[in-house]
Amino acid sequence: MSSFLTFPLVTLFISIFVFSTISLAIPNPRPFKKVYVFGDSYTDTGNTNDSTGPSIFHHVSALPYGKSFFHHSTNRYSDGRLFIDFIAESLNLPYFPPYLNKTADTTHGVNFAVGGCTTIPISFYNKNNASLAVVPQSLPTQLTWFKDHIKGSGCKNIVSTPTECTAVFDGALVWIGEMSANDYTNIYGTNVTSKTIQKLAVMYQTKILKELLKMGAKYVVVQGLPATGCFPLSFALVSPTAERDDLGCVAMKNKESYDHNMALQAKLHHLRTEFPSAVIVYGDDWHAYREVYANAAKYEFTQRFKTCCGSGGGELNFIPSPLTTCGAPGTSSCKHPSRFMSWDGLHVTQGLNKVLSKMFLDGAFAQPSFPHLLAKAAESKA
């Protein structure tokens, strides 16, 4: 080959290599500039601590919580990252700081989720002598916090203050994490029925979501309840003779969550009709959890029900008491949390959060899919 041909080919090769290197160095564009997050302990990144969170988990402010990623406690109810943390990573955004951390940078979002909170106001539980309901905040509280967060914007609703509300929700994703599991747990030992909880919880969740939509929210994700009958806490609260489903989980609790999700999805369908310009995604946690529980080995889990951090040994390694749950004196955590699905008896490991979030992001367990929502958001910018 002549030198006249060799030089252009070498030059072309170098140009392609340099261009490719530069392209790889450019960070992925952010589909959203910020995220407003609501939820309970499955989504809380630090609004609660030892003394303010769920009554039986009074050691969240110290190791071993956080040991697998942060290497110290961040008041997350896991050994590391939560589902919402993986969502932040996928959106090329920093982790969303807790609302009660008033010194945090909230440029890219804020997290209003509260560990142990309910969807229904606490007054309902006080009236019905529900002793397990100790966290005063509820989903309506979080909406109040959100309004306080944006009060300087002048946004009231998209009709009366369109410019102000457009600014608040411009490039924003609204994320409502798993809610209402605490509502069902709190009626244990009371005369309140799960059907009553379903009706009230779905009503409050729908009411608050509708208010956000009226304010101008355009892109929303609502996570359904997980398969709660597979959690060690459910096994601990029911009779040993309680019926098990095909996965070996507490059948009654899984059906309770399934029925709740069906009622919630029906309301979301109506909201999509009422707000046709909004994209409302339902995160199908229930079926996603069942998929992993049914195929644990496929996802590299060796323990489905046994708690990584707890006490008591046996099949569950879990005793539901502040004196015996994760972090209490005399308890211990497993050496390899990534092989366990349950972290502390109610909350899941970083490993399971990673698997579940990937399933959601890939689009298999959401209606419509999250990629569809991202595409719609991209279209609006074009």
Q: Note the pLDDT of residue 8.
A: 41
Q: Structural domains in the chain?
A: 30-294+349-381 (3.40.50.1110)
Q: What is the pTM of this model?
A: 0.92
Instruction: Determine the pLDDT at residue 27.
Output: 47
- Reported as type and span, the H/E element at residue 220 is strand 219-223
Q: How far is CA 89 from CA 16, 95, 309, 358, in A?
A: 29, 7, 26, 11
Q: Would the pLDDT of 14 be above 50? A: no
Taking only the tens place, the pLDDT of each residue in 252-268 is: 999 999 999 999 999 99
380 has pLDDT over 90:
no
Position 310 scores a pLDDT of 97
Which entry of 58, 59, 108, 347 is annotated as an active-site residue?
347
**243 DSSP 8-state letter:** -
Q: How far apart, in whole angstroms, are the C-alpha atoms of residue 350 and residue 330?
A: 23
Residue that wins the pLDDT comparison between 324 and 14: 324
Q: Quick check: 19 pLDDT over 80?
A: no
Rounded to the nearest integer, the mean pLDDT of the chain is: 92
Which comes out higher in pLDDT, residue 377 or 5? 377
Bridge-based pairing of strands 279-283 and 366-367 is antiparallel
Q: What integer pLDDT is reported at residue 28 of this predicted model?
A: 58
Distance CA 52, CA 324 (A): 18
107 contacts: CB under 8 Å, gap ≥ 6: 34
- By C-alpha distance, which of 212, 224, 151 is closest to 181? 224
Catalytic pick among 59, 284, 344, 357: 344
For residue 280, list its beta bridge partners.
220
Contact 57, 44 (CB under 8 A): no
Which among 307, 313, 311 has a CA at the least distance from the CA of 332? 311
- Candidate list 40, 41, 68, 333, residue with the active-site label: 41
Active-site annotation holds for 72? no
Angle (CA) 142 266 366, round 5°? 75
Q: Note if 344 is an active site residue.
A: yes
* Lowest mean pLDDT segment, chosen from 6-15, 28-37, 297-306, 359-368: 6-15
pLDDT tens per residue across span 42-99: 999 999 999 899 888 989 999 999 999 999 999 999 999 999 999 999 999 999 999 9
Query: Quick one: pLDDT at residue 3?
Result: 41
Report how far apart, in Å, the C-alpha atoms of 38 and of each of 139, 167, 209, 211 are: 8, 20, 10, 14
Under 8 Å between Cβ of 305 and 288: no
